[in-house]
Amino acid sequence: MTQGTPPLSRLPAGKQRQRRTQQRRWLNRLWSWLITLAGGSVILALLGIFVYLLTEVTPLFKPVSAQPIVVEHSPPAFDITPAPIPAAAATAAGFEVAFSLVEPLQGYLLLAASNGEACLWWQRQPEAGCLQRLSLTDRTVNLTTLRWLAGKQSIVSGDSSGQLKQWFFLPDEHGQLRISWIKPFARRNAAIVDIAPEQGRSGFAVLDAAGGVSLFYANLTKPLWQGQAAEYQRATRLQFSQRNEQLWLLGPGEPTALQLDNRHPEISWRTLFQKVWYEGWQQPEYVWQSSGGAELRQGKYSLVPLTIGTLKAAFYAMLVAVPLGILAALYTACFLSEPLRSRLSQLIELLALFPTVIIGFLAAIWLAPALEQHLLALLLFLLLLPLLVLALARLWPRLPKRWQQIPGSGWDLMLLAALLFVTAYLALLGGDTLQQQFFSGSFRFWLNEQGVSYQQRNALVVGLAMGFAVLPIIFSICYDVMSQVPRQLTLGASALGATHWQIVRRVIWPLSLPGVLAAVMLGLGRALGETMIILMATGNAPISNFNLFEGLRSLTATLTIELPEAAVDSSHYRMLFLVAILLFIFTFMANTLADLVRQRLKRNFQRLDT
Amino acid sequence: MLVATAKLRLMIISLVLAALSPALRAVSPEQSATLAVAEPTPLSGTLSSTGSDTLHNMMMIWRRQFVALHPQLNLQIQSSGSATAPVALLEGTASLGPMSRPMLAVEQERFRRRFGYDAIAVPVALDMLALYVHQDNPLRSISMAQLESIYAQNRLCHRQAAIERWGELGLAGTWQSRPVAAYGRNPASGTYGFFRQQVLCEGDYQQRVQQLPGAAAVVRAVSQSVNAIGYSGLGQQIAGVKILALQADANSPALMPTPEHAISGRYPLARVLYIYLNKAPARALPAAEQAFLRFVLSAEGQALLSNDGLVPVPAALRAQAIQELGL
């Protein structure tokens, strides 16, 4: 230290102080900007993702457009000479054959006369004559065209009254192949002149005598596009270009052509949410079937099985997690005393950290086979447990006084745990014995014989496994809410002479109910968005039912399984983005509801505090 | 008719054997087999591979041996399905694209639009799909028509009635009423597409067929479920499952998936596995890729195939690939 007079204040002198203030102001501003930027960019990123999803999906629903163009080069010659008809077939039909179609896989032959009379003949049974006789038109009108759609699984016929009909080859109840009438398409205004199938896709174009051209897709009765022009009247034939981008109208005069923009004909709201009768299927159904390994003629993209799968898995998981989570929270928050209480709650919350892949894996390789073997034991357990607990409760007052006074909390926990184990053991023993005695060794196969479909990897397995994953979320929120009930209320009730049980039922429970609801909604959000458990514990079969013993396919699992293989910009690819949006909407709804409920809860507590 | 076309596809292997061009003879199988495995110059850097899950085990085995030869070289392998290979090659995120099926026209076209030439397919192994059942299942063989009746929804190939119980496959006793639980792969896998093409005649799968991600997952599921049947690569054998002999049609014998039957083309579910490459016609492959493929196609690399239940590529086909790559 020097001898000079020490400064009166340690605060910096005028100029320096000013500089410091300025510095601090700058720093503050910088920080606030950074924070704003971070917050804003998060919001922007979220919006961006959503907008991106939408831009990927919107092309699916873009209306089809067609522009007349100048034909630059004449289309490749198109072989329209029909295959020779075997003499045996012609005699079997007994009419003058105007149209003939050959089924390529087995060699069935469909012959038709110009009045619509038709005969199905099979080369493997030539002596049988016509296997089926039918009329492809109403008697009064003439058949004018008969064409295969791509893939040669379904037929479209057109007649002189402008009607279009779709026909399938379907086996009847005896396994005999039959031509079956499927559906009419929207009627054209004039006689049908020609039908052209798309290349490698199930759409087709129709030309009518009034010069009308319309584009159809096999699953939809209404045309995707239609147009009319006088010059089209000259045309007699339609043909698609190799990639279905152009439609040529050919005839005696100059060929004309239409440039088409029809990328995703198979997607419409109808095919996404209604039953569709696909080629070769026995009846209309909700089908999700895609393939990255091959180009499909008909993508089958129904969102119904996936939505049902997601809801089914979430429902059964909630069935497990909600009662267990809420009751566990109630017990821990209201009935346990301190050291044990916080330790137990921490332990349950720790379960949330369990990687879901592990849960899914265990569910698939251990739980699913075990459940299949001991299904009866599980049912017995669910039946026995409440009975035994009730019996114990009934027995309790009759026990000697010495036994009833349990030292400290935690003992009842031990006692009930012991009861649980005893019940489980009894159920296992009883279930297996019953199974051997009455169900010829396997309850699961017995169920099958009763007509209940049972798959090893089913919704029950998912419910248990995912319930286990959702439970900690529900528990921890419920626990927090219940232990935050204002103390003056419980103490007040206690002072007024309420019993512990009365306090729980009349004070804690009603107050924490909104919080419990919020916990349930958050758990639901988690269950809807869960991926790995469902992916691994189910067979991912896209089934549309709520059977507990059958598998399911969720929106999330579909994304995981299929997104890596989807060809960019294909219908399949865009459909998967639509699936993602649907999933987003589900979880968003669950979480928003939870938030609303939570805000109400906050207001309730504020009111109580004042 | 269809059976004939299916057979044809498999006969390609044997056809190639027969129809070797004179140019090919320049590199004889013996020569290719004697191609030096060890490189005198040490290679370094990173090779990455993205694609087929079927080839995953094999790529790992090859990597182990290959990296032992070139310790400086790092080979990253990602296996999430054949359909990921074309995308990875296109984006340049991988230089090797193992695939369990040939590239589709669309995929090849997208590649051509970007680079101006086709991606090159190098046949690296023959694989057979085996039909697995639980070891307690008394069934010994199954026909293609029966398989279709189990797996297909619309049964285009044989038009036979659907099969839902093991009794309909000729099993008696307790098995008679047991339902058939069918397992298969997820659509990302080339196996799913191959099975769909060969067995279902491009038809649709039954809705109840369970789709599992991973070749091993299918076999594991079968080993745990007594009434299950599943298809997967031959390399996935574990305890608890049994492989069925497969009958192509009513007139042919039921055959087990063995190397001889794969090469002769008589086992109906055999296929070629490829590694796809991005190689400009004029330019030679980078040294690391070259060394890896030379190793894979060498006698030593092909001998490793049996560790994973795969079958070596016929020498002539290998020689053709070696010549095409300029190794």
CATH code, domain carrying A320: 1.10.3720
Q: Which residues contact B292 (CB under 8 A, 6 or more apart)?
A: B47, B62, B66, B75, B96
pLDDT band per the 50, 70, 90 thresholds, residue A7: low
What is the arithmetic mean of pLDDT over A360-365?
A: 91
Looking at the fold, whether A219 and A329 belong to one and the same domain comes out as no
What is the arithmetic mean of pLDDT over B164-180?
A: 91
Q: Which pLDDT belongs to residue A79?
A: 61
CB contact under 8 A, A540 and B194: no
Looking at the fold, whether A269 and A333 belong to one and the same domain comes out as no
Angle at A22 between CA A17 and CA A25, to 5 degrees: 125
Q: Which pLDDT belongs to residue A33?
A: 95
Tell me the C-alpha distance between A510 and A483, whole Å: 13
Q: Which residues contact B136 (CB under 8 A, 6 or more apart)?
A: B226
Residues of chain B with C-beta less than 8 angstroms from the C-beta of A556: none
- CB nearest B187 (choices: A291, A541, A568): A291
Which residue in chain B is spatially nearest to A443 when comparing CA positions? Answer: B178
pLDDT above 90 coverage of chain A, percent: 43
- CB nearest B153 (choices: A105, A281, A364): A281
- CB nearest B209 (choices: A279, A541, A562): A541
What is the arithmetic mean of pLDDT over A3-25?
A: 76
Looking at the fold, whether A270 and A347 belong to one and the same domain comes out as no
Tokens of A149: 């759609």
- CB nearest B186 (choices: A104, A454, A561): A561
CB contact under 8 A, B213 and A561: yes
Residues of chain A with C-beta less than 8 angstroms from the C-beta of B204: 278, 280-281, 287, 289, 300
Per DSSP, chain A holds a count of helices (H) and strands (E) of 18, 18
* Chain B nearest CA to A532, separation (Å): 11
B88 and chain A: CB distance < 8 Å anywhere?
Answer: no
pLDDT tens digits, residue range A469-512? Answer: 999 999 999 999 998 888 888 899 999 999 988 999 989 998 88
CA A65 to chain centroid:
31
Interface probe with A: pick from B91, B103, B159, most Cβ of A within 10 Å = B159
* Chain A nearest CA to B34, separation (Å): 36
* Chain B nearest CA to A294, separation (Å): 6
- Give me the sign of the Cα torsion angle B258, B262, B268, B269: positive
* Chain B nearest CA to A110, separation (Å): 17
Q: Which pLDDT belongs to residue A581?
A: 93
pLDDT tens digits, residue range B225-255? Answer: 999 999 998 877 788 999 999 998 888 899 9
Q: Indicate the burial class of B256 (C-beta count within 10 angstroms; 0-12, 13-18, 19 or more).
A: middle
CB contact under 8 A, A562 and B205: no
By DSSP bridging, strand A212-217 and strand A203-208 are antiparallel
Which residue in chain B is spatially nearest to A441 when comparing CA positions? Answer: B174
CB contact under 8 A, B154 and A368: no
* Chain A nearest CA to B181, separation (Å): 7
Domain with A227 in it: what CATH number? 2.130.10.10
Domain boundary among A519, A541, A563: A541
Looking at the fold, whether A438 and A510 belong to one and the same domain comes out as yes
Domain boundary among A541, A575, A598: A541
Q: Which pLDDT belongs to residue A236?
A: 87
CB contact under 8 A, A540 and B212: yes
B203 and chain A: CB distance < 8 Å anywhere?
Answer: yes
Q: Which pLDDT belongs to residue B18?
A: 40
pLDDT band per the 50, 70, 90 thresholds, residue B146: very high
Q: What is the pTM of this model?
A: 0.83
Number of domains observed in the structure of chain A: 2
B210 and chain A: CB distance < 8 Å anywhere?
Answer: yes
Q: Which pLDDT belongs to residue B215?
A: 84
- Terminal Cα-to-Cα distance of chain B (whole angstroms): 40
- CB nearest B177 (choices: A278, A293, A449): A449
pLDDT tens digits, residue range A548-601? Answer: 999 999 999 999 888 877 777 788 889 999 999 999 999 999 889 888 887 887
Looking at the fold, whether A526 and A426 belong to one and the same domain comes out as yes
Interface probe with B: pick from A291, A296, A568, most Cβ of B within 10 Å = A291
B83 and chain A: CB distance < 8 Å anywhere?
Answer: yes
Residues of chain B with C-beta less than 8 angstroms from the C-beta of A453: 179, 208
Tell me the C-alpha distance between A490 and A498, whole Å: 9
Is A12's pLDDT higher than 90?
Answer: no
Looking at the fold, whether A337 and A436 belong to one and the same domain comes out as yes
Report H helices in A208-354. 269-273, 303-334, 338-350
Q: Which pLDDT belongs to residue A562?
A: 86
Residue A185 located in a structural domain? yes
Tell me the C-alpha distance between B122 and B323, whole Å: 11
Question: Among A514, A509, A543, A552, which residue's Cα sits nearest to residue A315?
Answer: A552
- CB nearest B187 (choices: A104, A535, A561): A561
pLDDT band per the 50, 70, 90 thresholds, residue B124: very high
pLDDT tens digits, residue range B297-314? Answer: 999 999 988 888 788 888
Residue A403 located in a structural domain? no
Looking at the fold, whether A141 and A216 belong to one and the same domain comes out as yes
Is A232's pLDDT higher than 60?
Answer: yes
CB contact under 8 A, B157 and A105: yes
B252 and chain A: CB distance < 8 Å anywhere?
Answer: no
What is the arithmetic mean of pLDDT over A399-410?
A: 68
pLDDT band per the 50, 70, 90 thresholds, residue B31: very low
CB contact under 8 A, B159 and A175: yes
Q: What is the ipTM of this complex?
A: 0.83
Q: Which pLDDT belongs to residue A316?
A: 95
* Chain A nearest CA to B47, separation (Å): 21
Tell me the C-alpha distance between B122 and B97, whole Å: 10
pLDDT tens digits, residue range A109-156? Answer: 999 998 889 999 988 888 888 888 989 988 788 999 999 998 888 899
Report H helices in A83-231. 87-93
Q: Which pLDDT belongs to residue B33?
A: 42
pLDDT band per the 50, 70, 90 thresholds, residue A406: low
Q: Indicate the burial class of A430 (C-beta count within 10 angstroms; 0-12, 13-18, 19 or more).
A: middle
Residue A10 located in a structural domain? no
pLDDT band per the 50, 70, 90 thresholds, residue B22: very low
Q: Which pLDDT belongs to residue A217?
A: 93
* Chain B nearest CA to A574, separation (Å): 16
Interface probe with A: pick from B160, B204, B241, B273, most Cβ of A within 10 Å = B204
pLDDT band per the 50, 70, 90 thresholds, residue B5: very low
pLDDT above 70 coverage of chain A, percent: 93
Q: Which pLDDT belongs to residue A601?
A: 74
* Chain B nearest CA to A151, separation (Å): 9
Residue A16 located in a structural domain? no
CB contact under 8 A, B224 and A566: no
Is A604's pLDDT higher than 80?
Answer: no
Is B47's pLDDT higher than 50?
Answer: yes
Looking at the fold, whether A364 and A496 belong to one and the same domain comes out as yes
Residues of chain A with C-beta less than 8 angstroms from the C-beta of B192: 291, 293
Cβ contact B48:B54 at 8 Å = no
Q: Bigger pLDDT: A435 or A43?
A: A43
Residue A127 located in a structural domain? yes
Looking at the fold, whether A317 and A270 belong to one and the same domain comes out as no
Looking at the fold, whether A131 and A194 belong to one and the same domain comes out as yes
pLDDT band per the 50, 70, 90 thresholds, residue A256: confident
CB contact under 8 A, B181 and A456: yes
Residue A572 located in a structural domain? no
pLDDT tens digits, residue range A299-326? Answer: 889 999 999 999 999 999 999 999 999 9
- CB nearest A561 (choices: B179, B188, B225): B188
* Chain B nearest CA to A105, separation (Å): 6
Question: Among B138, B168, B144, which residue's Cα sits nearest to residue B156?
Answer: B144
pLDDT tens digits, residue range B80-121? Answer: 878 888 889 988 899 999 998 888 887 888 899 899 999 999
pLDDT band per the 50, 70, 90 thresholds, residue A201: confident
User: Which domains are seen in chain B, by residue range?
Assistant: 24-127+272-325 (3.40.190.10), 128-270 (3.40.190.10)
* Chain B nearest CA to A603, separation (Å): 48
Residue A295 located in a structural domain? no
Domain boundary among A498, A520, A541: A541
Looking at the fold, whether A367 and A248 belong to one and the same domain comes out as no
pLDDT band per the 50, 70, 90 thresholds, residue A24: very high
What is the arithmetic mean of pLDDT over A515-538?
A: 92
Residue A335's domain comprises: 313-396+409-541
Which residue in chain A is spatially nearest to B161 when comparing CA positions? Answer: A175
Is B143's pLDDT higher than 90?
Answer: yes
Looking at the fold, whether A386 and A501 belong to one and the same domain comes out as yes
pLDDT tens digits, residue range B53-76? Answer: 888 889 999 999 998 888 888 889
CB contact under 8 A, A541 and B211: yes
What is the arithmetic mean of pLDDT over A360-375?
A: 91
Alpha-carbon dihedral angle through residues A300, A306, A307, A312, given to the nearest 10 degrees: 150
Which residue in chain B is spatially nearest to A456 when comparing CA positions? Answer: B225
Report CA Rg, chain B: 20
CB contact under 8 A, A445 and B178: yes
What is the arithmetic mean of pLDDT over A529-546?
A: 91
Residues of chain A with C-beta less than 8 angstroms from the C-beta of B174: 440-441, 445
Interface probe with A: pick from B206, B224, B229, B238, most Cβ of A within 10 Å = B224
- Give me the sign of the Cα torsion angle A441, A443, A448, A454: negative
Residue A49 located in a structural domain? no
Residues of chain B with C-beta less than 8 angstroms from the C-beta of A105: 1-2, 156-157, 159, 201
Is A416's pLDDT higher than 70?
Answer: yes
Q: Which pLDDT belongs to residue A77?
A: 63
Residues of chain A with C-beta less than 8 angstroms from the C-beta of B6: none
B84 and chain A: CB distance < 8 Å anywhere?
Answer: yes
